[in-house]
A and B are shown apart, each in its own frame.
Chain A
C-alpha cells in the first residue's frame, strides 16, 4: 500500500484516497467551439505516462480535499504534492506526451 503525503494531513494510507487521473486538464474555454475530435480529446484522451506523472488525488476519508501530485508510475514513488491552485513545479507538465 502506498503512503500518500496529503498536503493537508500528512502521510496517510493509500486506501483513504480516491484517484482522479491526470492533473491540470482544463475544461475547454468554449466547448461549443470544439469539433467532435477536439471534444473527444478532452473527454476521453489522457496521458498514460510511464514515468513521472502529474495526477490528482482526493483524501476521501480524511480532509476530503483534492490535491495534485507527481508520482512515478513504475516505482510508485511520490515526488511532489501541491494544494489545488498551485502549479506543479516538476517538468512533467501533462499534455506534452510521454515522459519515459
Chain B
C-alpha cells in the first residue's frame, strides 16, 4: 500500500528569519496555527503574518493524532462547525493543490449498552436535522460495513448497533500540515521554527507584540494556537483559561495488507481503530485522568485499549505493537473548543479542542482568521466564546459526541 503515498512536492516552504514587526503573529505552528495563517492570507488579504513555533512545524499534536475526521456531533453549534469543517476537507486537496490522502471511508460509532443505543439514535436524528449524513445500523448492517468486527453476543460488551457517517474518514495529518504551510508561505506568511514565545508586550490592556527566544517581535494582533500548552502561553499574557491539559496516547501496529475498510470508534470500551494508507493499524486510547505535560501516558491505558480492540477485532490478536506515543491535549469543561476574542485587546485565542481538533483544522483556521481579521467572531464560532463559561451557554459535547476524537 505504501506506493499510494504521494511524492513530496518540489517546494515546501522557506524558513524565515523573524522580522521586527508583523500585522498578525500566530503562536503555535500546528495545524490550527498554519490554517489560521493560510486563511488570513487567502481570504482576508492579510499576508504580513508570522507563525511562531517553538519546536518544528507540526511537531505537536498535529502529527500525533489518529487523524479521524467526522462531523456527527450532537448539538447544533457543534454540528454546524464540524460539518463546515468536513465540507472544507472535501475541497482542500484541490484548493491547496496537494493530495494529502483524505479518504472518506466512513466512521462507525459503536453502541454497547441500551444507554448507548438511545443516545446514538438521538444523535443520528439530530445530525439529520442539521444536514449531517448519519445512519443508525443494526449489528448485521455494521458487519456488512466492517466484516472483521466481532458482533457475537458472547463478548463482554456486545455490539448493539452503531451510528454510521459515510462521509467521515481520515487524512494523512503531516501532509495536511505541509500543504497548509506551503500555501501560506507562497502567499507571503513567515513560518518561523525554533522560536518560543516567552512573554507578551502590552500597552495597557492591549497586546502589542511578543517576547521570543529569538528576540522581540511587535504585532498588530496576536492569535494563540498552542493546543496543550495554551494555558501556559495565555498565562504569560495574564489571561487565565478554563483548560486542563491531559496526556492522550495512540499506537500503531506493523504493516498489514488491507483488512479494515472503515474507521471504528467505541466510546464505551474506549478504543478507536483505522488502517493507515501504508497498512498500519492506528489505534487511539482514552486520556489519562490527571493533568500531565509529559507527552506520555500510563501503560494500563494502552493495555485496556488493546484488550478492547482484540475483543472487537479477533483478527488483531497476533498483530504487534510497533510504536506508542502521547500528546498533550487541552480539554475544556464542556468538551468544546474556544475560538474567541479575549478580555485583552488584540489578543485572540483558539484552544480547547482537546482530543478532537484535527478534524476541526479547516474550520478552526477559517473562523479564527475571521475573528482576528474583523475583531469579531464568524457566526460559526460565536457560540464558542470564552464568555460562555460566564453566561452558562455551554456546548456540552461530553459523551454526546461519541468520544471526542
**Known A1-B300, A2-B298: A45·B240 in contact at CB below 8 Å:** yes
Cβ of B244 and Cβ of A36 under 8 Å apart? no
Chain B: minimal CB distance from A74 (Å):
5
Partner among A44, A74, A97 whose Cβ is within 8 Å of the Cβ of B294: A74
**Known A21-B244, A40-B390: A73·B291 in contact at CB below 8 Å:** yes
Cβ of A1 and Cβ of B298 under 8 Å apart? yes
Residue ID in chain A nearest B332 by CB atoms: A44
Chain B residues lying within 8 Å of A74, measured Cβ to Cβ, are 292-294
Q: CB of B243 within 8 A of chain A?
A: yes
Q: CB of A33 within 8 A of chain B?
A: no
Chain A residues lying within 8 Å of B244, measured Cβ to Cβ, are 21, 46, 48
Q: CB of B16 within 8 A of chain A?
A: no
Q: CB of B391 within 8 A of chain A?
A: yes
Chain A residues lying within 8 Å of B245, measured Cβ to Cβ, are 48, 50
Chain B residues lying within 8 Å of A98, measured Cβ to Cβ, are 231-232, 235
Q: CB of B256 within 8 A of chain A?
A: no
Cβ of B290 and Cβ of A19 under 8 Å apart? yes
Cβ of B232 and Cβ of A44 under 8 Å apart? no
Cβ of B294 and Cβ of A75 under 8 Å apart? yes
C-beta contact mask, A5-23 vs B, less than 8 Å → 1, else 0?
Answer: 0000000011100110100
Q: CB of A100 within 8 A of chain B?
A: yes
Chain B: minimal CB distance from A77 (Å):
10
Chain A: minimal CB distance from B99 (Å):
38
| Bound Cα distance A49, B240 (Å) | 12
| Bound Cα distance A79, B61 (Å) | 29
| Bound Cα distance A49, B245 (Å) | 9
Cβ of B232 and Cβ of A100 under 8 Å apart? yes
Cβ of B235 and Cβ of A76 under 8 Å apart? no
**Known A1-B299, A1-B300, A19-B289: A73·B294 in contact at CB below 8 Å:** yes
- Chain B interface size band reads 20 to 34
Partner among A39, A45, A53 whose Cβ is within 8 Å of the Cβ of B291: A53
Q: CB of A26 within 8 A of chain B?
A: no
Chain B residues lying within 8 Å of A68, measured Cβ to Cβ, are none
Chain B: minimal CB distance from A89 (Å):
20
Cβ of A36 and Cβ of B300 under 8 Å apart? no
Interface residues of A in 25-66 (CB under 8 A from B): 36-37, 39-41, 43-46, 48-50, 53, 55
Interface residues of B in 281-338 (CB under 8 A from A): 289-294, 298-300, 333
Interface residues of B in 214-245 (CB under 8 A from A): 229, 231-232, 235, 240-245
Chain B: minimal CB distance from A3 (Å):
11
**Known A2-B298, A21-B244: A55·B290 in contact at CB below 8 Å:** yes
Chain B residues lying within 8 Å of A49, measured Cβ to Cβ, are 291
Partner among B229, B290, B293, B389 whose Cβ is within 8 Å of the Cβ of A44: B389
Chain B residues lying within 8 Å of A19, measured Cβ to Cβ, are 289-290
Partner among B292, B299, B390 whose Cβ is within 8 Å of the Cβ of A36: B390
| Bound Cα distance A36, B390 (Å) | 5
Chain A residues lying within 8 Å of B243, measured Cβ to Cβ, are 48
Cβ of A50 and Cβ of B298 under 8 Å apart? no
Chain A residues lying within 8 Å of B293, measured Cβ to Cβ, are 50, 73-74
Chain B residues lying within 8 Å of A37, measured Cβ to Cβ, are 390
A-B pairs with beta carbons under 8 Å apart, 19 shown:
A1-B298, A13-B300, A15-B298, A36-B390, A36-B391, A37-B390, A43-B389, A44-B333, A45-B240, A45-B389, A46-B242, A46-B244, A49-B291, A55-B291, A73-B294, A76-B290, A76-B294, A98-B231, A100-B232
Given A48-B291, A74-B292, 16 more A-B residue pairs with CB atoms under 8 Å apart are: A2-B298, A14-B298, A36-B390, A37-B390, A44-B242, A44-B389, A45-B241, A45-B389, A46-B244, A48-B241, A48-B244, A50-B232, A53-B291, A73-B294, A76-B290, A100-B232
Q: Which 10 A-B pairs have the closest CB atoms?
A: A48-B231, A19-B289, A44-B242, A40-B390, A44-B389, A36-B390, A40-B389, A50-B293, A74-B293, A1-B298
